[in-house]
Amino acid sequence: MNIYLNYCLILLMSVPGALIATTAHEFTRALVSTRLGDDLPANQGRLTLNPMKHLEPIGFMLLIFIGGFGWGKPVETSALYYKDRKKGILMTAILPSVVNLVLAALFMILYRTVGDVNAYVAMLLTYCYYYNVALVVYNCVPVVPMDCVKVLSVVLPANQYYKFLQYEKTIQMVFLLLLFFGLNGIFSTIIQIVIGFMGMIFL
């Protein structure tokens, strides 16, 4: 019985960290796009820190159960409003991950400051910085709906990018299958390496 209670507790403590990471990521995208002149995020109610507005059930459950791979509800943006289209797309794709890294650092500092209050506080803060780092790592993968795909739309020649789009669903399905069959272990290692590097600075 204690094993099941512990598992439920761990699951419960992981939820706030996942919500914070995905909310910060998608809100940052909405805010950046809005600052660049795009009114679509605000019109769709995404310019908010309400986590329920950024929750995508499948992406959220994957984030919890597959060691950090997942996503929030992607914010719709329109590059037509940007004065510099390529720069705007890159900013809306990259800055959300920058914010996740900053949040991870802040939670690490908080962990160092109050993490020894009790085990539950330490666990909560650990998940908070873990999921923020995990989102950054996985968003470097060129799989829909990760932000790397948006970066490719700018850096790749148009014909190569459209060829890539023809296979995006296949790439996504293969990637998910590989995650279920052990690829997530490799990414977990990468996440821990990043956390370890940041930990040398902030922990």
Output Rg (C-alpha) for the chain, integer angstroms: 18
Determine contact, residues 16/128, Cβ cutoff 8 Å.
Answer: yes
Please determine, for residue 70, whether its predicted confidence score (pLDDT) is greater than 70.
yes
Determine contact, residues 72/46, Cβ cutoff 8 Å.
Answer: no
Peptide bond into 41 cis (omega under 30): no
pLDDT at 181: 85
Determine contact, residues 92/29, Cβ cutoff 8 Å.
Answer: yes
3-state secondary structure of 3: helix
Q: Which two tokens stand for residue 92?
A: 């809306």
pLDDT (tens digit, 9 = 90+) per residue, 145-175? Answer: 899 999 999 999 999 999 999 999 999 999 9
pLDDT (tens digit, 9 = 90+) per residue, 4-26? Answer: 777 788 888 899 999 999 999 99
* Spatial CB neighbours of 153, under 8 Å, sequence gap ≥ 6: 89, 161
50 phi-psi bin (left φ>0, alpha ψ -120 to 50, beta other) = beta
Residue with tokens 């986590």: 51
